[in-house]
């Protein structure tokens, strides 16, 4: 059985008198900016009690059910709409052409707006919240760090860390042949260990022990998440740092991590071996003790940078690469555990590909089905569900697939949510959008009829190994798109493939309760409310 959350998208809720009155009031307060853009007939109360992206999906579907007739054609309302609450309004985008415009074609007309406000105290001038000038410099330096030999070395780290997790789980199943565990927590520890080693050569070893740095990392992530769901940035008020207990804790956690990072940076600088980028990219990674990104960034000739910037870069990578990967693994297992046939198909692939030993980049290429599972999990549970932007200058959006020839005017300072969740579950671009079908991404065979491929329908992606935002023409954005696209996409895909394959090789996985009990909550990523509790049974292979 497939869970209800996927088969039935959240139903539009009945509105009561108070909702309608508050809606009228908020729309009135939001004033006439954004001109003729359709307004979501939502209410402030819709925003509470469930993840925001659910409400945005409700409105998207609800508004599309009421197309309006313009001078020449029907316009589907919901693909770009305004959501107003209080004196504030947001534009919600669920159209690939409009998303492409904002993320790629006119990307530098936008910054990260409210997201940068939330993250700056944690990530400083790291890639995600950085101002444009800093971002341009740092992106140019960081991107080459993810070169082929680095990724190859990372595969060894993914394997080593996953082995640690699997050994721990094997020990737990030893006496009874099975155990119930919270796999979300296990994946979180695993992803933390991997990002620590890969980005700054620090072994958290969180799978087997607890230490103050780990506690501080989780404390900081928790605070980042709290801030992302809190609409008023109270932490910017003077003195909260000393008065509000959770702010005091946050600042002490931050200090623990910063001290640890400062030490690692100091060590890396003391052992610096300066070289040109090309030479660094050809180092013998198999003999290096420290293969981390930090090593690369410190050794790169001509990329000298102060310690503060390096620390911001590392902190950004730690946060951006940890929860996202843990979440994709969690939802992949959640989906697979409800589809025994797909689970068996995945295990058969793993058994045949990994039967003779070591995992390498080449063997990973053969784990086709595992990769499709991960991509399909990212389609259904995108991490993050919404991309946040704010216009730095006035802009004009294109008409998009919504039937309108002309798009809307965007005044300076407009806050925008590009809803990846809506794009990925849009009934206009996906067959059976709420169902888990990794096979939808299979590359058509040579003789398969691909007539009707519309260029953006990811169900049809001729010639491409794996779908991405280019092939899907921005209807599928697992790692964003345009210049701010994820720098760690290959790292994350290979990491998830290794971890999932190694788990399935050793265990049969079942959900402990019903899928409905696994509720979702969101901050930066979509995760479960109370963990992903599963029964693991040792496989007889």
**Is position 328 an interface residue for ligand HEM (rule: CB under 6 A)?**
yes
Q: How far is the CB of 487 from ligand HEM (least distance, A)?
A: 5
Nearest residue (CB) to ligand HEM, 75 versus 192 = 192
Nearest residue (CB) to ligand HEM, 76 versus 492 = 492
Contacts of 172 (CB under 8 A, 6+ apart): 179, 181, 536
Three-state secondary-structure class, residue 9: coil
What is the rounded CA–CA span in Å between residue 285 and residue 299? Answer: 14
Sign of the alpha-carbon dihedral angle for 189, 190, 194, 197? positive
**Is position 484 an interface residue for ligand HEM (rule: CB under 6 A)?**
yes
Q: Which two tokens stand for residue 322?
A: 């940890």
Q: How far is the CB of 315 from ligand HEM (least distance, A)?
A: 10
DSSP 3-state percent helix, strand, coil across the chain (nearest 5) = 50, 10, 35
**Is position 524 an interface residue for ligand HEM (rule: CB under 6 A)?**
no
Contacts of 301 (CB under 8 A, 6+ apart): 274, 275, 276, 277
From the list 52-60, 284-292, 488-496, 509-517, the region that binds ligand HEM by CB under 6 A is: 488-496
**Is position 325 an interface residue for ligand HEM (rule: CB under 6 A)?**
yes
**Is position 492 an interface residue for ligand HEM (rule: CB under 6 A)?**
yes
Q: How far is the CB of 370 from ligand HEM (least distance, A)?
A: 14
Nearest residue (CB) to ligand HEM, 247 versus 332 = 332
Closest CA to 389 of 150, 99, 67: 99
Q: How far is the CB of 421 from ligand HEM (least distance, A)?
A: 12
CB-count burial class (<10 Å; 0-12, 13-18, 19+) for 266: exposed
Q: How far is the CB of 333 from ligand HEM (least distance, A)?
A: 14
What is the rounded CA–CA span in Å between residue 82 and residue 391? Answer: 15
Nearest residue (CB) to ligand HEM, 328 versus 397 = 328
**Is position 154 an interface residue for ligand HEM (rule: CB under 6 A)?**
no
Q: How far is the CB of 525 from ligand HEM (least distance, A)?
A: 8
Contacts of 210 (CB under 8 A, 6+ apart): none
Q: Which two tokens stand for residue 72?
A: 């020449």
Over the range 289-323, which residues count as b (16 or more CB within 10 Å of their CB) and which as e?
ebbbbbbbbbbbeebeeeeebbbbbbbbbbbbbbb
**Is position 316 an interface residue for ligand HEM (rule: CB under 6 A)?**
yes
Residues 118-147 interacting with ligand HEM (rule: CB under 6 A): 127-128, 139
**Residues in the chain, total:** 541
Q: How far is the CB of 27 from ligand HEM (least distance, A)?
A: 28
What is the rounded CA–CA span in Å between residue 501 and residue 30? Answer: 50
What is the rounded CA–CA span in Å between residue 116 and residue 123? Answer: 9
Q: How far is the CB of 469 from ligand HEM (least distance, A)?
A: 10
Q: Does 161 count as an annotated binding residue? A: no
Residues 366-405 interacting with ligand HEM (rule: CB under 6 A): 378, 383, 387
Contact pattern for ligand HEM over residues 194 through 223, marking x by CB under 6 A: -----x------------------------
Nearest residue (CB) to ligand HEM, 228 versus 247 = 228
Q: Between the CA of residue 234 and those of 44, 239, 414, 525, what are the distances in Å? A: 20, 10, 21, 22
Nearest residue (CB) to ligand HEM, 27 versus 324 = 324
Q: Which of 43, 99, 386, 486 binds ligand HEM (CB under 6 A)?
A: 486
Closest CA to 41 of 12, 70, 73: 12
From the list 79-87, 239-247, 357-365, 479-487, the region that binds ligand HEM by CB under 6 A is: 479-487
Can you say which residues are annotated as belonging to the binding site for heme? Answer: 486
Q: What residues line the site for ligand HEM (CB under 6 A)?
A: 127-128, 139, 199, 316-317, 320-321, 324-325, 328, 378, 383, 387, 478-480, 484, 486-488, 491-492
């Amino acid at each position: 059985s497939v869970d209800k959350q996927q088969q039935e998208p959240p139903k539009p809720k009945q509105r009561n008198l108070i909702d309608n009155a508050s809606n009228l009031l908020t729309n009135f307060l939001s004033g006439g900016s954004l001109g003729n853009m359709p307004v979501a007939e939502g209410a402030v109360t819709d925003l509470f009690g469930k993840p925001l992206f659910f409400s945005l999906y409700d409105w998207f579907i609800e508004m599309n059910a009421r197309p309006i007739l313009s001078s020449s054609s029907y316009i589907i309302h919901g693909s770009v709409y305004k959501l107003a609450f209080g004196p504030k309004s947001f534009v919600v985008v669920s159209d690939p052409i409009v998303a492409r415009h904002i993320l790629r074609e006119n990307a530098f007309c936008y910054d990260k707006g409210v997201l940068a406000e939330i993250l700056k105290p944690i990530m400083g001038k790291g890639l995600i919240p950085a101002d444009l000038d800093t971002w341009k410099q740092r992106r140019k330096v960081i991107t080459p760090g993810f070169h082929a030999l680095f990724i190859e070395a990372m595969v060894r780290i993914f394997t080593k860390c996953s082995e640690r997790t699997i050994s721990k789980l094997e020990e737990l199943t030893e006496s009874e042949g099975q155990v119930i565990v919270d796999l979300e927590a296990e994946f979180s520890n695993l992803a933390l260990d991997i990002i620590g080693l890969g980005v700054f050569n620090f072994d958290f070893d969180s799978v087997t022990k607890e230490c103050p740095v780990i506690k501080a990392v989780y404390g900081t992530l928790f605070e980042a998440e709290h801030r992302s769901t809190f609409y008023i940035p109270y932490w910017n008020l003077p003195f909260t740092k000393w008065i509000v207990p959770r702010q005091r804790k946050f600042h002490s956690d931050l200090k623990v991590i910063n001290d640890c990072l400062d030490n690692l940076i100091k060590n890396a600088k003391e052992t610096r071996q300066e070289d040109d980028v090309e030479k660094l990219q050809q180092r013998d990674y198999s003999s290096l003790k420290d293969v981390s990104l930090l090593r690369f960034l410190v050794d790169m000739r001509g990329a000298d940078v102060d310690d503060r910037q390096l620390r911001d870069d590392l902190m950004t990578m730690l946060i951006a690469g940890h929860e996202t990967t843990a979440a994709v693994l969690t939802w992949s297992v959640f989906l697979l555990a409800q589809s025994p046939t797909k689970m068996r198909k995945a295990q058969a692939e793993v058994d045949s590909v990994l039967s003779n030993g070591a995992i390498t980049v080449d063997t990973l290429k053969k784990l086709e089905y595992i990769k499709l599972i991960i991509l399909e999990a990212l389609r259904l549970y995108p991490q993050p569900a919404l991309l946040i932007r704010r216009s730095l200058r006035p802009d004009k959006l294109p008409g998009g697939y919504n039937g309108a020839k002309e798009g809307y005017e965007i005044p300076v300072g407009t806050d925008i949510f590009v809803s990846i969740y809506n794009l990925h579950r849009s009934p206009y671009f996906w067959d059976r959008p709420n169902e888990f079908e990794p096979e939808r991404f299979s590359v058509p065979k040579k003789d398969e009829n691909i007539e009707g491929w519309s260029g953006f329908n990811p169900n049809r992606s001729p010639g491409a190994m794996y779908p991405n935002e280019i092939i899907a023409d921005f209807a599928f954005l697992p790692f964003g798109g345009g210049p701010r696209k994820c720098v760690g996409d290959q790292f994350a895909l290979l990491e998830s493939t290794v971890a999932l394959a190694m788990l399935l090789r050793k265990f049969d996985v079942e959900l402990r309760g019903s899928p409905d009990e696994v509720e979702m909550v969101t901050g930066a990523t979509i995760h479960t409310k109370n963990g992903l509790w599963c029964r693991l049974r040792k496989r007889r292979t």
